[in-house]
Amino acid sequence: MRRLCGLWLALACCAWAGEEHQPPAVDDLPPIRPAATDWPWWRGERQDSIATAATNPPVTWSKTENVVWRADVPGRGHGSPTLWGERIFLPTADEKEKVQYLLCFDRRDGKKLWQTELHRGGFMRLHPKNSHASATPACDGERVFMPFIVQGGIWLDAVGLDGKIVWQKRLGNFESLHGFAASPVFYKSLVIVVADAIKNSFIIAVHRRAPGAGDGSGEVAWKIDRPSYKLGTYASPSVGRVAGRDQLLHQGPYKLFSYDPATGKELWRCDGPDESTCSNPTFDDTHVWAAAGFPKLNLMCVRADGSGDVTKTHLAWMKRDKMAYVPSMLLSDGLLYMVEDEGRLYCFEPKTGEVVWETKLAAKFSASPVLAGGRIYVPSEAGVTYVYKPGRKFELLAQNDLGDGGFATPVFIGDRIYLRTLHSLYCLGKR
């Protein structure tokens, strides 16, 4: 009898261990279906900073003109607004009390609906320009996912639309030089987070709602090691279908990488652009564009249908000049637009890198340009939003100063603009 019981217990333990190490399914949840009036994650639904649902947002505004409402934002953060339904989600951090929060505002009138404390104490080193809430949240319609570095590690928090914490998961150790800024991305049932640090870097994919785990626990689907260097990288990844296959694109250090978002397996890599990067890769159906960075400024274009090291076979072109470090690029109607950190604006031929036009503004930029209503908008660090026409000739339409600086990229829906400044959240448009 003892032998039978012992055998049964051993078999049961083996079965339990097998279940424990079985990775969660990649596509067992229904597809995320944001409405045209949602802006569910960083750079919009297609991750390209093109506001397809923008009809006629205002070209000009001030503290008193074309302001539908303004809400006070406590603390400090650079994450952009995330919109789902009538809710606006925004991260922030109280640097004095060392507390990280997720905020929710009513989209109709700017009323704060809730403020959820996610982490307290253990703030980590960062660059003076960075904040302790620089990533943009991602929403799947049921939960809001927000990564933070705190207490020596990187965390992913899943919060319900009602502000209640569903689960929190420490993804791994994180050693910061200039902080953290990478926003999460979704792929089918997974939420993917890049944790590029100065050592022990990795990318991790966790299930948005783990099967058999009640309301969800963030079960790990895959995790891969990443190269680490002394400066670190701060860019967000991009996910899309390029060259006939799903690709997870990420740049730095010293290479542009493509991974299979279902498994984390590397598909291809290409030398460049440089060690430290901050901007997203930009892509179309066949090519990927990447810019960096520090210590050198480079811009590159790569054909995305290769495998392994494609440096000698698929690098279409590379430019070494004053290129964007922090702002991401914008690709639209056969032209590639760039806003360089120190104020130079470019328009390129995307397939050749030839400069169509360039101009210089008396401003510094960290936010990324957005195409909305047939116009390009980009706010400066000083709080002046420049509006100009897309096309083969530069034409500045307006400069709008709210008297409050900022680093966040604005969001455009219909005839409204949702813009975070250092101290406020604005809804801009005609009343």
What residue type is 254 in one-letter code? Y
Confidence of residue 217 (pLDDT cuts 50, 70, 90): low
Contact residues for 205 (Cβ-Cβ < 8 A; gap 6+): 187, 190, 191, 192, 193, 220, 221, 222, 223, 261, 264
pLDDT recorded at residue 309? 98
For residue 84, with 0-12 CB atoms within 10 Å meaning exposed, 13-18 middle and 19 or more buried, which class applies?
buried
Decide if domain 26-428 falls under CATH 3.40.50.2300. no
Confidence of residue 7 (pLDDT cuts 50, 70, 90): very low
Interval 213-234 mean pLDDT: 82
pLDDT recorded at residue 294? 81
| Residue where the block lists tokens 């959820």 | 116
Whether the pLDDT of residue 15 is over 90: the answer is: no
What is the Cα–Cα distance from 150 to 117, expressed in whole angstroms?
13
For residue 136, with 0-12 CB atoms within 10 Å meaning exposed, 13-18 middle and 19 or more buried, which class applies?
buried
pLDDT recorded at residue 40? 98
pLDDT recorded at residue 94? 98
Q: What is the pTM of this model?
A: 0.93
For residue range 65-81, list pLDDT tens digits in order: 999 999 999 999 999 99
**Better-scored residue on pLDDT, 136 or 1:** 136
Taking all residues of the chain, what is their mean pLDDT, rounded to a whole number?
Answer: 92
Interval 228-240 mean pLDDT: 90
Q: Name the phi and psi angles at 179, rounded to 5.
A: 100, -150
SS3 9: helix
Domain spans, the chain = 26-428
> What residues does 239 pair with on adjacent strands?
248
Whether the pLDDT of residue 276 is over 50: the answer is: yes
Q: Name the nearest CA neighbour of 400 among 36, 211, 375.
A: 375
Whether the pLDDT of residue 4 is over 50: the answer is: no
For residue range 125-175, list pLDDT tens digits in order: 999 999 999 999 999 999 999 999 999 999 999 999 999 999 999 999 999
